[in-house]
């Protein structure tokens, strides 16, 4: 079961308004989405470090035709 933690944060109103308009969601979901994006950016950075270091057995064209 996922534990939910209630927090209080101070966010500039203009930033929150921009983020809510961009997400089309309420405050809670907008903040959750923002936190997920921050966490994902760390994973993307780690993947970028592997660029050019991993060799694949198949080409992208071969993978597409295997569908």
Taking only the tens place, the pLDDT of each residue in 23-63 is: 999 999 999 999 999 999 988 888 888 888 878 788 888 88
Binned at pLDDT 50, 70 and 90, residue 2 comes out as confident
**pTM summary value:** 0.65
For 64, the token pair is: 């597409």
Q: Is the pLDDT of residue 66 over 70?
A: no
Q: Is the pLDDT of residue 67 over 70?
A: no
Residue 27's alpha-carbon distances to 5, 6, 7, 59, 61, in angstroms, are 15, 13, 13, 43, 43
Q: 3-state DSSP call for residue 55?
A: coil
């Amino acid at each position: 079961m996922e534990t939910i933690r209630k927090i209080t944060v101070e966010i500039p109103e203009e930033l929150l308004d921009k983020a809510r308009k961009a997400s089309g969601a309420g405050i809670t979901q907008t903040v959750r989405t923002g936190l997920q994006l921050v966490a994902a950016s760390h994973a993307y950075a780690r993947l970028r470090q592997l660029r050019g270091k991993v060799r694949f057995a198949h080409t992208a064209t071969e993978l597409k035709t295997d569908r």
